[in-house]
Structure formats: C-alpha cells, structure tokens
Structure 1
Amino acid sequence: MFNINDYILDSIASDLKIEIQKNSNRIPDPFNYFHGKTTKDLIIPENILMFYRSKTIADSTPSIHERFVLIYNFSGEGSVIIDNSAFRLKESEAILIYPHQYHVYADIAKINISWLFITFEAQNHGTLTERINATFKLSNFSMLNILFLSNYFISTKNQPSEETHASLLLANILQEISITIPIQELNKDIPTEKELSSSHLLIQQIIQFIHEDLTQAVSIDDVAQEVHFSPSHLRSKFKKIMGIGLGTYIRKTKIHKACLLIQNTSLTISQISQQCGFSSLYSFSRTFSSEMGHSPMTYKSTNSK
C-alpha cells in the first residue's frame, strides 16, 4: 500500500543523511556520559482529536472546556475571540487556546475558510503558557509533523486508540510552538457588534468584568449588577449561552489564573490564593484540589519553572 509519509521521507533521505552526518561531526562530546537531556519540560499531549472546517460556516456559540485547541489557518481570515480580546487569524497563522479560556469564532459566516483544528489534553504545559493570546507561524518542521499526523488520523479513520504515534507527532509540534516568538502582540480591542451577536456581546461584557480584577471575590450578584440583570435571569442566560454555570465559570477562571501563577512566578501558594481572590488559603486549596485533582503544592512541584 502506498504510504505518503514513506514517499516524502524517501525523496529527501539522501539529503537528510548528508545533513545528519555534517551535524554529527559538529556535536561536542558530553560533559558527563551518564547525565544527559531530561524530559522535565517535555509536553506530552493526550486524548488528541483532529478535524477540518472549510467553506462558510455560521459563527459559533461561545465555548469553555478543559482542552487545548490549536488552530491552523490555511486560508480565509476570521476572528477568534479569547477571553476579553479579539484576534484576527490570518492565512498561514496559528493560534493556541488554553484550557478554560472562553472562546468563540466570529466574523466567518460570509467567507470561505480552510481551518485545521487539533484539540488535546496535557498535564505538563511547559512553556505553552507563553503562547497564550498571540498568533504565530509554524515552522516547516511543524508542518511536516502535521502532515504525518493528518495521515495517521486518515489511516486510523479518526477512531479512539491508545497508540503513542499521534502523541509523539503532536509533541514535536508543541515543543516547536513553545519556543516560537509570537508575531502578533495582544490585541485588547473589544469586538464590535459586527463581529458578535447580542448574546456574544453580553457574554463578552461579563467576561471582561470578571477578568478586570481577579484579586477580588467576584460574586454573581456583582456581575448581575454590572450588566443590569437580576441574578436569577443572569444565571439562566449565561448557562443557556455557554452551557456552563456562571459560578462554575468564575471558579474555573480563578483556578486557571492560579495555575498560570504557579507555573510562571515565584509567588507562594498563600500569595497566589490572595491574587486569585480567595477569602482563605483553606478555601483556595479545597477549590483547587476539586478542580485539578490534586493540591496546589503537588501541582507546583510538577509544573513550576
């Protein structure tokens, strides 16, 4: 059976051999023959899905979930709204959406798009957190791995499996992304009504209010007062649009921020608790453990830089 991966590799095999030999001659001898590169910062993706969207599609409903979403744009510009910021995803650019980030795809109903989606879970986020809220280019190496990954999903008919092939290919891509310098700075402009429906605009207002100061203990009553809804009406409206309770979203947002602070700062757990608006360290630890499956200290021991 013809295998496109083998064909590609065969066509460049001789050149690869020459380049590898050149590099081999330049590799310095190890400082220690029993201690080498470790996998501490290796990002191991799991539960991977890949799918493709083309032509015109209706603007999506807002979404929040516990998976990473990597989007690559082959053609057709569109807006990706993440938390309280809007990004224009241009041709040949990619963007990474982090777990628990509010996101919606907008301004794409009247254009032909060609977007590839790769969603996955990962315990060790490595330096992927530095790629939040930025678009970036993928290297030729990453594109080759995406080609191999797509061939794998075609050959397996996109059925669930416990094989490591997809995980290893995506791990290569994620390691490349983790050292890529973003080409677009954070866009803090709030989307216009042309980009979002009235429901999306309401959610956008709610999300912005919650994110303005996460050090405060924001309540549903506070949010309801801000958007001029009764608390009960707001709960119902938010749940209908988002598929998640407002209280749950506030809690997940705070824990998401806590995870980022643990991974990227030297703050103590007590300081992080205060930064995330919890009334006590006990309340923070209990909520964190409930959301993440282990204590803040355990998470810090395996995820801090």
Structure 2
Amino acid sequence: MSKNDRLFKHLNMSMTGNIMTTDISWFRIIFSGNENLNTSMHKHIVHELQYVYKGCLPILIGQKILSIKAGEYALIPAGIQHKVISPDVPTRKLVIGFSIESDDLYVKNTYNHLASPVFQTATPVFQQLADVLVEKYSASYISTPSASAMSCILHILLLDITDEISSADQIQTMTQAAESYQRFNQILSFINERAFNNISIQDVADNLSLSVRQTSRICHNLFGCTINQLISQVRIQQICFLLTRSDNSISKIAEMAGFSNPYTFSRFFSHQTGVSPSTYRKNYEIKKE
C-alpha cells in the first residue's frame, strides 16, 4: 500500500435505516497507480464494492478479465473468487466490504440473487457521495475518521446501488446466473460421485434431463471444456488423492478407478499429468519430507 492509500478497518461501522441495515467491514481509498493488495485469487465472506473514479481497473473473475472504467463500479458478491490485476495506468478507486440485513422482501431478494458480479455505471447520486468520501477521508492528516459520518454516507451510497441492481433486467440476469451456478453444482456433483464408473456424456445429459447437445453447450459455457475433458479432470483429481492419501497399491488404485489393467491406467495417467502414477506418488512423498 502506498503512503497515499487510506485503509479503515474494524471501525464498527453500522447504519440502520427504514429499509436495511448496513454493516461495513472495511473502507479503502487507493490513490496509487498499482494495486498492491489482493493480487492473488481470493474471496470474501461479505460483499465487496470496487468503484473506479480515475483510470481503469482490470479484475479477473473466473477465467475472464473484466475492466472497470472511471465512473463505473463492480459489486462482487460474497464467496466469488476474484483477483485484482495491477492496472497499466494510474488508477484511483474506493473499495468497500459490507453486508446487508433487511426485512424488506425487495432488498432481500436483490442480495439473495447475487450469484455473479454486477457491473454498473455509477449514478450521479453515487458519484457525488463517492466524491464526498474521497475528499473527506483521503487527507493524510485524518487518523481516526468519524465512524458515524462515514457509515451514514456509505449507507446512502449502498441504498443507491440497491435501487440500481434491483431493476427487472438485473434481477433477471442474476436469476440466470443463479441457475447457471445450480447447473454447475449439479454437473460437478454427478461426475464427482461417479468418476470411476466410466460415465458418458449421455449419462450426464440424462441426469440433467437435457439433450446431449444442450449439455455440451452448458458444460463449455460453465467449465470451458467438453464433458469428456471434465470427466477426465475429475477422475485424475480423485486418482491423485488416492495416490497421495492412501496406502493402496497402484494396481489396486487402477482397479478402483475402473481400469481393466495397470498398463492402461498408467498410460491414461501419464497422458493427463505428464508423469507415471509411481513417479507422482514418489514426488509427493519427497515434498512431504
């Protein structure tokens, strides 16, 4: 973090209004040209808001790099893996970690449907509030900000976001994302439980009650590979687990994994990993020592 960055944490910032209660976990203002924190894949137990008011900020989410331009923000839901990439140009932004509690069905549905990040252009109200936060709390002489004043501004700012992402189009998008996430879990769970049973794309399609063509398209969209490639990946992961976490012989593991003989098993494993099963096990044991 550069000397111009401002990070406020554990200030017990909370604000309750008629619609919702906002709890702020952290509030960070960054004036540096480089992002020095959280540059590896990570996730939070609360939602995170990243608002860029100068420059452009690339963020890696899944396998996609998305750029937030000046005047735009990304709302990253809790539990979503992401990574901030150091921008090529000087970038200024504010970052807020927060959680929302509400008895209002409208607000609850909005945040319950947050299954994927939301990217929006900030409204004029949002930009004005953000400007106040930046001007008020970026000064180097401020050591302990007023938690109540900051909470009030952040609460109103997040109310503005809630109104924006609660539009019909956004709810539809988030619902589709939630359905995709459900499909993701359904496919992965089915393959994980049957990886050693020589399952086929038809088996996966039958489990989803879809055609093979639909299943192939969904798998490619969600995982970036074919069903057969995904099955092989899961199969290899489970074989690696047995090689490193059990005392079973390689012949026994080959039998457990559904192979007719150790030679076929070794050839499959070597093709997928670049090393033989025995070498993989030996390398793991060396690393443990």
Q: Which has the higher strand share?
A: 2
Q: Which structure: larger Rg?
A: 2
Bigger RCO of structures 1 and 2 (CA < 8 A, at least 6 apart): 1
- TM-score band by shorter chain is 0.3 to 0.5
